[in-house]
Amino acid sequence: MHRQYRVIRRWAIAAFILAIIAMELIVASAISALAQEQKEELVPCALTFDDGPGNYTEQLLDTLKDKQVVATFFVVGEQVLRWPQTVRRIAAEGHEADNHSFDHPNLKQLSYRRQKAEIDKTDRALRALGIVPKYFRPPYGSYNASTVRAAAANKLVLVLWTDDALDWKYHSVISLESHLETHLKGKIGGIYLFHDLHPWTVTAMPDILDDLTRHGCRFVTLADYMGKRNVQDKSREPAGTANKNPE
């Protein structure tokens, strides 16, 4: 009798434990589904930084690492040759490094052959570091049919931007943050253009990231953003819209 009671008691305890485990799994699954739903409600934001790497890029990378934010760097080839370790760090920390010409000319003023050389030299500099670029952004946002053809010859997608931070125009942290507060509030989502050569941009970036996060940004690399957009026939038409940028 006592033995039978002990067996029943053990089975009851086991059933109770299994019920608790099952309940915990159900709760965990519900929490995970809710987190995924909330994540999907956020707006994809692709941060891009042009013209580097330079003196302030390492500081920017520290900020991005601290905030757990990914970004895309459109690098200039001659800067890649000067700062190879920084470019390696960009790739190692989950960011993307893409092509922004070799020495930042206005490509519309160059022949197809010279445009192709600008792209080729930067492409080789990146590949020498084990990085295969996917995108090309023409300096100043200035391009023509030859630019698109030269980029496509290197299997690069020509990409511009949808939101220009104008950090070349606002030369202090206060003026830049004030501009962004009014300019970007109603335009959350898209491809954002910044420059990592400007100290005021890098200094302001922690606050900028916090502000964009509060307004619903989910930071993604450009490749992730483009993948979500399902861009078709990428080699023929540049992605993003842009006004000509003096940088």
Give catalytic residue positions.
50, 195
How far apart are the C-alpha atoms of 239 and 136, rounded to whole Å?
10
Residue with tokens 């996917």: 134
Q: Is 29 helix (H, G, I), strand (E, B) or coil?
A: helix
Q: Is 183 helix (H, G, I), strand (E, B) or coil?
A: helix
1 sits in which H/E element: none
Instruction: Render 91-158 in DSSP notation, one character per residue.
Output: HHTT-EEEE--SS---GGGS-HHHHHHHHHHHHHHHHTTT----EE--GGG---HHHHHHHHHTT-EE
Q: Which of 110, 124, 40, 111 is nearest to 78 (CA)?
A: 124
How far apart are the C-alpha atoms of 3 and 85, rounded to whole Å?
72
